Amino acid sequence: MKTSSQIALVTFRVEVAFFTGDICYGSEAYDILAANWYQAEHEGLLRSVESPYDNERVPDRSRRVTAVAA
């Protein structure tokens, strides 16, 4: 018996916002091909560590991520 499964991939527009405390000081957007929004957000966070906004000298820094199917 041969089984085949295909996962439909969707393009998501993922925005990562960079914060110091409650103040957003930058954002980046990525187009990511993923099976679901959770996977797209995860990939967006992984990519955001390469951003110039992800600077360890920024006090109380954090990120927020949102993914929307394009």
- Averaged over successive runs of 10 residues, the pLDDT of the chain (70 residues) comes to 74 98 98 97 97 95 96
pLDDT at 7: 84
> What's the CA gap between 32 and 50, in Å, rounded?
15
Q: Is residue 62 part of a domain?
A: yes
Residue 5 within any structural domain of the chain: no
Tally of structural domains, the chain: 1
**Quick check: is 3 in a domain?**
no
pTM of the model as a whole: 0.85
Could you tell me the residue range of the domain that residue 60 belongs to? Answer: 10-69
Measure the CA–CA gap between 3 and 22, rounded to whole angstroms: 50
23 inside domain = yes
Q: Tell me the C-alpha distance between 9 and 38, whole Å.
A: 13
